[in-house]
Amino acid sequence: METQHSDRNSPDRSFAMEDMRNIGIAAHIDAGKTTTTERILFYTGVIHRMGEVHDGTAVTDWMEQERERGITITSAAISCGWTPSHGSFAGISHRINIIDTPGHVDFTAEVERSLRVLDGAVAVFCAVAGVQPQSETVWRQMNKYRVPRIAFINKMDRTGADFLGAVEEIRTRLGGNAHPLFLNLGAEENFHGLIDLVRMRAYRYDDGDREGMRFDDEEIPAEERGKAEAFRTRLIEALVDYDDVLAGKYLEGGEIQEEEIRRAIRRATVSMDFVGVIPGSAFKNRGIQMVVDAIVDYLPSPLDLPPTRAFRDDGEVIGLEADDRSKTAMLAFKLMYDPYVGKLIFCRVYAGKVAKGDVVYNPRTRKSERISRLLVMKANSREDIAVAYSGDICAIVGVKKVVTGDTLCDRSLDAQLEPPTFPEPVISMSIEPNSKADQEKLSLALQRLAEEDPTFKITSDAETQQTLIAGMGELHLDIIRDRILREFRVGASVGKPRIAYRETVTAAADGEGKFIRQSGGRGQYGHAVIHLEPGERGSGVQILNEIVGGVIPKEYIKPVEEGIRDGALCGVVAGYPVMDFVAHIIDGSFHEVDSSELAFKMAGIFAFKEAMQKAQAILLEPIMKVEVLTPNDYQGDVVGDLNRRRGQIQGIGEKHGVLEIAACVPLETMFGYATDLRSISKGRASYAMEPSHFEQVPAATLLQITETSRRQQQRSI
């Protein structure tokens, strides 16, 4: 099925690259990702007893907070081996590196950085709920990083399970070209097996075997045969566009072989044109072996994907192929502090190989550092290795000046891999140490947590002198506070949550900044003129150098840019960071003796502030996408409550006898919503929420915010 690529493999590898799969398990919260991972580890022999999320015994949920809450907070990496029993890979041992990712929207950064370094993914869906809000977010993230995927429809044993309904939702709501690779035998409490549409065989599980190890490979029951043949024909029709041999045989009415279908599925999956779907129940141990077979059969090895792009400072883009003989290039995608070995940096090796004791170069810092240890992580345990090869995911120890998204490479390569991108925090709160002794410990704890988590930010309120921590939601900050107390043993008090408002400009304006100081000796002189204009919503900060004729020397352009970015940290409406603007550096002047980087940085700040005052600045608030599932009886009360919260109803539909209400609601009004919804619906409704976009704050709310800001300034004075 695959072309052998032994020429790119080092002879010292224990697994050839074509026999490796780097995959992630991703889905909406509570769809069953961790339980699915646990079952995969059991069937592949990594563990000998299946743990349960609800018991706090799952291998990949190793943090105390994960085990207490029954949710995944941090992505966990673990490896296993699998030898398929049939198909072209039958009898060939494969290495599968798995990353189990969180489902809660507050920890979306973990999903983001994991998908950036993975070659394939298993998207898990609930057979009852189908496509849920966070399912859509994860699907978009997979599309963004072009991650081929298969889908696992979990919880087929639950009341209301609808396999074909879930497949249709993947097609209509997510736009995926989804087709069943298996059909379910029975459903709900009668779910007892699967029909393989490639082999045209049925797998019936033994009800007496609670671990799901035994199942009978038998003929498809007569009553299911017609349905199976119809779906197999649909599957082949969906694949003929991606395989000429299959298309020819289908058009000629020839007999189609199993391996021809597998080859077409693999080709279409790797090219992102097809999503194969498998039903099952991770909790009841049914269908997992078929998922692992599909991972090997259909998801790509590092060799099946196009070269990874890397960027040089001069704008040149180069392609890096997975090849052990190439120059080393790896991406640092996660940082973690381990109490025993210190700072761990998780890396994906894209080209070449890296060994313990090697020196690697960081193009961002222009520094070289030595790797003192090389590890393979297995959830919270670790194993020392001597060498990591192309395609491997490993952890390194000893490299100090590294942040998430850095490239570590051979000095002669000097190119940066594309880093993962992360959303901006939407909520903040103040944090204060309980005693003077806790002050230094709190500072260290916050610094380490910020290095680990790119969506956790620390700032200082200039007026109140308070330390502010910002994150993706109340749960995110609650976990941070809990970790500060438990892991770092720091006593700290937090204030009430605050909304992470933003400011932007709605009109174009020019601004001029001059910083001139003379004190007898050498003075300070910096002068910059900028043109500020609105950017596309969501485009962030763009700064363009349009200086001609050297009116500002090249070495002072970067300080001006830094000044503009510093100025944008505190807007003119209510002191919040400014987003979505384009700043053009268009003019200025310098002094042969007195000009300095500091002077031009200050000039950049002054120019930005002046332009901001003229550019009709407005305040923006984060809007959340909210989806409420409620019985029909409470529709009026739920909709009325959302309207009172300034919500805009996007749609109301019915799913499995329950109303699904979609709305966009300002985050500022959503605090305490879980309690209010329970009260309205007598505990029968549930909801999911994720960040959507920013919108202008209404005039009445703006008055309240600016008044609060004014009072804080008066108190600080």
Q: Which residues form the domain of 62? A: 15-220+274-304
Note whether 375 and 445 are same-domain residues.
no
* 543 shares a domain with 477: no
Question: Alpha helix locations (H) across 44-77?
Answer: 64-69
Q: Which of 615, 637, 662 is the last residue of a domain?
A: 615
Structure tokens at 64: 């105390």
Least confident of 206-210, 230-234, 365-369, 538-542: 206-210
Looking at the structure, do residues 32 and 154 belong to the same domain, yes or no?
Answer: yes
Band (pLDDT 50/70/90 cuts) for residue 461 is low
Query: Which of 67-71, 326-330, 485-489 shows the highest mean pLDDT?
Result: 326-330
The mean pLDDT of 374-388, rounded to a whole number, is 80
List, for residues 110-160, the tens digit of each pLDDT value: 788 888 899 999 999 999 988 887 788 888 889 989 999 999 999 999 999
Could you tell me if residue 242 is inside a domain?
A: no
Mean pLDDT of 557-577: 92
Q: Residue range 4-30: average pLDDT? A: 82
Residue 464 — very low, low, confident or very high, per pLDDT cuts 50/70/90?
A: low
CB 53 within 8 A of CB 114: no
Q: How far is Cα 561 from Cα 528, in angstroms, rounded to an integer?
A: 10
Same domain, 114 and 139: yes
338 and 433 in a common domain: no
Question: For the domain that residue 384 is a member of, what is the CATH number?
Answer: 2.40.30.10
CATH number for the domain including 481?
Answer: 3.30.70.870
pLDDT of residue 20 exceeding 60, the answer is yes
Any domain includes 533: yes
Pair 276, 308: CB distance under 8 Å = no
| pLDDT in the model for residue 73 | 52
Q: Is residue 124 part of a domain?
A: yes
Distances (CA, A) of 186 to 53, 130, 202: 26, 18, 12
User: What mean pLDDT do residues 310-338 have?
Assistant: 90
Indicate whether 211 belongs to any domain. Answer: yes
- Per-residue pLDDT tens over the stretch 491-514: 888 887 778 889 999 999 999 999
For the entire predicted model, the pTM comes to: 0.74
In a domain, 258, yes or no: no
446 pLDDT higher than 80: yes
Range from 97-101, 300-304, 544-548 carrying the lowest mean pLDDT? 97-101
Element (DSSP H or E) covering residue 73: none
Which residues, other chains included, contact 159 with Cβ-Cβ below 8 Å and sequence gap of 6+?
Answer: 128, 188, 189
Is residue 475 located within the same domain as residue 558? Answer: no
Does 589 lie in the same domain as 523? Answer: yes
The pLDDT, as a whole number, for residue 104 is 62
d(CA 714, CA 166): 56
Q: Does the pLDDT value for residue 103 go beyond 80?
A: no
- At residue 662, does pLDDT exceed 80? yes
Between 714 and 219, where is the model more confident? 219
Three-state DSSP state, 556: helix
- Comparing 101-115, 181-195, 303-317, 371-385, the range with the smallest average pLDDT is 101-115
Which of 445, 472, 495 is at the close of a domain? 495
Helix ranges, 343-456 (H): 436-452
Q: Taking residues 405-428, what's their average pLDDT? A: 88
Last residue of a domain, one of 440, 466, 495: 495
> Are 474 and 609 in the same domain?
no
Domain co-membership, 41 together with 137? yes
Q: Is 315 exposed, middle or buried (0-12, 13-18, 19+ CB in 10 A)?
A: exposed
Give the CATH number of the domain where residue 187 resides. Answer: 3.40.50.300
DSSP per residue over 572-616, as a string? Answer: SSSSPPB-SEEEEEEEEE--TTTB-HHHHHHHHHHHHHHHHHHTT
Do residue 207 and residue 284 come from a single domain?
A: yes
Q: In the predicted model, is pLDDT for residue 526 greater than 60?
A: yes
Residue type, 477: L
For 639-656, the pLDDT digits (tens) are: 999 999 999 999 998 876
Tokens of 616: 């009709």
Tell me: pLDDT of 565 over 90. Answer: yes
Q: For position 380, what pLDDT does the model report? A: 56
Residue 236: inside a domain? no
Question: What is the model's pLDDT at position 168?
Answer: 95
Q: Across-strand partners of 23?
A: 98, 120
* Cβ atoms 236, 245 nearer than 8 A: no
CATH number at residue 632: 3.30.70.240
Question: Quick one: 59 and 200 in the same domain?
Answer: yes
Average pLDDT of the chain is 86
Q: What is the CATH number of the domain that holds 604?
A: 3.30.230.10
Q: What is the mean pLDDT of residues 368-373?
A: 93
Structural domain count, the chain: 5
Does residue 79 register a pLDDT over 90? no
Least confident of 150-164, 243-257, 304-318, 355-369: 243-257
Domain contains 233: no
Task: Report if residue 6 sits inside a domain.
Answer: no
The fraction of the chain above a pLDDT of 70, given in percent, is: 91
For 191, phi then psi, to 5°, come to -70, 115
27/66 same-domain check: yes
